[in-house]
Amino acid sequence: MSAARSARALRAHVASLETMSRFVLATLALASGVYTYLGVRGLLEGSGGASAVFFAAVIYSVAVSVGIYGFWTYLMRFAPEMRDWGSRLALLAMMALGSAMIIAMSSWLNAAALAGSAAVEQHLATTLEGYTADLDQANTNAMGALSLLPDIQRAAERFARLADDERQSGALTGTSGSGSVVQLLTQMSAQMHELEASIQASRQTVAKLFEEGQAHLGTMRGLVSAPGPIEPRSDSFGKEAVALAGVIAALQQTSIAPSVSRAAGDLSAGFIAPVADGRSADLAGRQDAVMATVRESVAQQSKALSDAAGEILALPKVPERRYVPLTAAEAVLRYARQFIPSWAGAISIDLLPAVLVGILAVVHASVRRGEEGLAEADQVSAGDMLRALELNAAINARRRAAEKDDEAAAAPSPEPVAPDARPVAENVTPLPDRKRFDP
C-alpha cells in the first residue's frame, strides 16, 4: 500500500505542477525568441529598410518561440506515456532531430546575440596580430641588406688601405707611387662605398615606412579595445587595414637586397683591370700579378656578397592579406571555441525543457511501477469514488424518471365527461335516517 500511496502522491504532484511546467516552458521559449530577434536583427542589418528588418526579425523570433513551445509541449505530454522501448526510441529520435533543428534555427542566433560584439572584437584582434606579424616580417626583409654593411665596409676599407700602402711604400709591387694597382684598388674601394651608401639610404626609407606602419597599428589597437558599438569601429579598422597593407607592400618593394645582389655580381663580372703602366717590363709584370690577385679577391668578395644577398632574397615573402569584415553571427561561428560559455548558455535556453521531459518520464515510470501490483479497484482514489457515486445517483434518478414516463405512457386514458353532467347519486336527496317502527 505504501507504493500505492507514493504513486498517488506523485500523480497529485504532477497535476499540481502542470501550470508551473507551462509557465517555465513559456518563459524559456520567450527568452529564446528575444535573443533570436537580436541575432536576426544584427544579421539583417543593411539588407533592407529599418521597418522591413524589424518586422522580419519579429516574425522569425515569434515563429521560433511558438515552435519551441509546441515541440516541447508535445514531448512533455507524450514521452512519459510511452511504455514499450520501440516507441521510446522513436520518440527519442524525434526529440534529437527536433533539438538539432532548434539549434540550427535559434541557438546560433542566440549565441550571436550573447557574444556577437565580443566575437567581432576577437576577429579584429586576430586580424591585428596578423598585420603586426606581416609588418615585422616586411621590415625584417627590407632591413636584411643592412647585415651586409659590415662586410662591405671592411672590403672598402681593405681596398683603400692597400691603395694607400701601395702608393706610399709599394707594399704590393715593391715600387711606390700611383700606378695601375693603386688605380684599381681605389676603384674597387669606391664601388664598395657606393654600395654602402645605397644601403644606408634605404635604411632611412625603411625606417620611415616602418614608423608609418606602427602608427596604423596603434590606431587599430585603439579601435579593438575602444568602448562603444562594434560596427563603426569595424569600419574604421578596415580603413586602417587597407592603409597598412599599402605600407607593407611598399616595404617589400623598398628592400635593397636585389640591388645588392646585382651589384655584387657586377663586381666580378664587370671587373676591368687597367693596363700595367710600369716603366720597366719587370714592374709591369709585377703590376699584372698584383691585379690578378686583386681580381681573385674581388671575385671572392663578390661571391660572398651574392650568397648573403641570396639568403636575404630567399626569406619568405609577406603574403597578401585582406581584412574581411564579419557580422556578429559569422564571427560567433568562426570563433566558436573562444566562446564556449556563450554557446552553452544559448543552447541551454532552447534545450532545457528536455530535462523536464526526462523528469516527467521518470516520475510516470515510478507511478506505473507503484500501481502494477494493485487491483483496479485499489487504484481508485476517494475523489474518484465520490465522483463515481454522484454519477451513479444521477444515472439512477434519470432512470427512475424515464420509468415513470414509460408507465404514464402505457396506462389507458379515462373517458371524457361532459362539463355539466353530474352522477345520479349526486342528484338524489338522501332520506333522513329514521328508526324502524315496530307496532
What cell numbers appear for 78 in the block?
Answer: 507524450
Q: How far is CA 112 from the centre of its chain?
A: 8
Going by pLDDT thresholds of 50, 70 and 90, the confidence category of residue 4 is: low
Q: Does residue 153 surpass a pLDDT of 60? A: yes
Please give the share of the chain, as a percent, with pLDDT higher than 70.
78
Higher pLDDT, 58 or 276: 58
Q: Does residue 250 surpass a pLDDT of 50? A: yes
Going by pLDDT thresholds of 50, 70 and 90, the confidence category of residue 382 is: low
Residue 421 to residue 81: CA distance in whole angstroms: 77
What cell numbers appear for 47 in the block?
Answer: 539588407
pLDDT of residue 403: 77
What cell numbers appear for 365 in the block?
Answer: 515510470
Going by pLDDT thresholds of 50, 70 and 90, the confidence category of residue 57 is: confident
Q: Does residue 68 surpass a pLDDT of 90? A: yes
Q: Does residue 215 surpass a pLDDT of 80? A: yes
Specify the long-range contacts of residues 357-363, CB closer than 8 Å, at least 24 apart.
357/72, 357/75, 357/76, 357/79, 357/80, 357/95, 360/14, 360/21, 360/76, 360/79, 360/80, 361/79, 361/80, 361/82, 363/10, 363/13, 363/14, 363/80
Greatest Cα pair distance in the chain: 228
pLDDT of residue 105: 87
- For 127-140, b/e burial (b = at least 16 CB within 10 A) is bbeebbebbebbbe
Going by pLDDT thresholds of 50, 70 and 90, the confidence category of residue 48 is: low
Going by pLDDT thresholds of 50, 70 and 90, the confidence category of residue 373 is: low
pLDDT of residue 425: 45
Ranking 24-38, 231-245, 327-341, 395-409 by mean pLDDT, the lowest is 395-409
Structural domain spans, the chain: 2-81+337-371, 120-326
Residue 228 to residue 141: CA distance in whole angstroms: 38
Query: Which residue's entry shows cell 562603444?
Result: 228
Average pLDDT over residues 23-47: 85
pLDDT of residue 322: 85
Going by pLDDT thresholds of 50, 70 and 90, the confidence category of residue 203 is: confident
pLDDT of residue 138: 86
Going by pLDDT thresholds of 50, 70 and 90, the confidence category of residue 267 is: low
Going by pLDDT thresholds of 50, 70 and 90, the confidence category of residue 93 is: very high
CB of 179 closer than 8 Å to CB of 277 = yes
CB of 145 closer than 8 Å to CB of 260 = yes
Going by pLDDT thresholds of 50, 70 and 90, the confidence category of residue 437 is: very low
pLDDT of residue 436: 44
What DSSP character marks residue 104?
I
Average pLDDT over residues 306-316: 74
Q: Tell me the per-residue pLDDT of 143-152, one tens digit each, with 9 for 90 and over.
A: 777 777 777 7
pLDDT of residue 336: 84
Q: How many CA atoms lie within 13 A of 172 on its CB side?
A: 28
Concatenating the DSSP letter of every residue in 166-232 gives HHHH-TTTSS-SS-HHHHHHHHHHHHHHHHHHHHHHHHHHHHHHHHHHHHHHHHHHHHHH--S-HHH
pLDDT of residue 43: 78
CB of 257 closer than 8 Å to CB of 313 = yes
The per-residue pLDDT of the chain, averaged, comes to 78
Going by pLDDT thresholds of 50, 70 and 90, the confidence category of residue 439 is: very low
Residue 312 to residue 262: CA distance in whole angstroms: 13
In Å, what is the CA distance from 232 to each residue of 109, 121, 159, 338?
Answer: 21, 12, 61, 23
pLDDT of residue 13: 77
Higher pLDDT, 139 or 413: 139
Closest by alpha carbon to 61, among 35, 43, 42? 35
Higher pLDDT, 425 or 386: 386
Residue 312 to residue 277: CA distance in whole angstroms: 41
Residue 44 to residue 238: CA distance in whole angstroms: 20
Ranking 83-92, 121-130, 416-425 by mean pLDDT, the lowest is 416-425
Q: Which residues fall within 8 angstroms of residue 277, CB to CB, at 6 or more apart? A: 179, 180, 284, 287
Q: How many helices (H) and strands (E) does the chain have?
A: 15, 0
Residue 170 to residue 282: CA distance in whole angstroms: 14
Average pLDDT over residues 133-144: 84
